[in-house]
């Protein structure tokens, strides 16, 4: 299985329960949404792909998956993080969020779906030029979490709410989601790839994603 990293906190727990329940082994690799899009045109051999709908559309266009097999998992918003023990920035309103970003010593976020949205948001807010000199971007969420947890000073990190919450175990603090007026939710879905279309185990897993047990796990991880 190939999956976007934002759903990792929930999907790994679902996989664990599925393994115990069915005895099927599940191997999963995580990548950014842009990377999964690129791999649609490569000789990728996977049974299931989990990603935003636009990415799955590319797999369908490439003849690597069937549109009819798509199952929605849930949506994830963007959140703010700082290292544990650092002062919490005010982000309750768009104006507070803007002021916190401008007063921060540094800003850290990814180059994946979340980062692409934030890049456009900062342009719209008219602060992109001011933030750019103090911004560090990484290819994926793991590098962002590591940077922020080991940072110092008045530093703000941004990313998918799911991975931030999971990152509290490595010294991060989830400040909260973006103000609703500027929040961006990314929907994630699963699709059977061409290689998995004839696999009973792959079909069983995709079906399991729709069960109350799986939905409960996803909701607890922030995927709703």
DSSP string, 120-168: HHHHHHT-HHHHGGGEEEESSHHHHHHHHHT--SSEEEEEEHHHHHHGG
Element (H, E) at 93: none
Q: Report the mean per-residue pLDDT for the chain.
A: 93
> What is the average pLDDT across 181-207?
91
Ordered domains of the chain (ranges, CATH): 2-75+187-220 (3.40.190.10), 78-182 (3.40.190.10)
Given a cut of 80, is residue 106 above it in pLDDT?
yes
What pLDDT does 117 receive?
Answer: 95
What pLDDT does 6 receive?
Answer: 92
Measured distance CA(183)–CA(189) in Å, rounded: 20
Give the residue from 191, 213, 212, 188 showing the smallest Cα distance to 202.
191
pLDDT in tens, 110-164: 998 899 999 999 999 999 999 999 999 999 899 999 999 999 899 999 999 999 9
Given a cut of 80, is residue 210 above it in pLDDT?
yes
What pLDDT does 77 receive?
Answer: 96
pTM score = 0.86
- Greater confidence (152 vs 212) lies with 212
- Greater confidence (45 vs 107) lies with 107
Measured distance CA(19)–CA(28) in Å, rounded: 13
Share of the chain above pLDDT 70, in %: 100
> What is the average pLDDT across 74-85?
96
> What is the average pLDDT across 28-37?
91
> What is the average pLDDT across 177-201?
91
Given a cut of 90, is residue 76 above it in pLDDT?
yes
What pLDDT does 206 receive?
Answer: 94
pLDDT in tens, 88-98: 999 999 999 99
């Amino acid at each position: 299985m190939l999956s976007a990293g934002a759903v990792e906190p929930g999907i790994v727990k679902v996989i664990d329960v599925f393994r115990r329940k069915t005895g099927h082994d599940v191997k999963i690799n995580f990548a950014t949404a842009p990377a999964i899009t690129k791999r649609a045109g490569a000789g990728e051999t996977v049974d299931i792909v989990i990603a935003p709908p636009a990415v799955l559309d590319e797999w369908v266009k490439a003849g690597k998956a069937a549109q009819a097999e798509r199952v929605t998992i849930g949506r994830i918003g963007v959140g703010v993080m700082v290292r544990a023990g650092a002062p919490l920035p005010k982000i309750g309103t768009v104006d507070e969020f803007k002021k916190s970003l401008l007063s921060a010593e540094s800003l850290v976020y990814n180059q994946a779906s979340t980062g692409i949205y934030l890049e456009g948001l900062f342009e719209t807010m008219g602060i992109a030029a001011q933030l750019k000199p103090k911004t560090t971007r990484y290819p994926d969420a793991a590098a962002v979490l590591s940077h922020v947890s080991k940072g110092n000073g008045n530093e703000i990190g941004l990313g998918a709410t799911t991975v931030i919450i999971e990152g509290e175990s490595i010294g991060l603090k989830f400040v909260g989601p973006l103000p609703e007026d500027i929040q961006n939710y990314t929907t994630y879905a699963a699709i059977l790839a061409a290689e998995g279309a004839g696999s009973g185990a792959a079909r069983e897993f995709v079906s399991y994603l729709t069960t109350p047990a799986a939905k409960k796990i996803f909701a607890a991880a922030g995927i709703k």
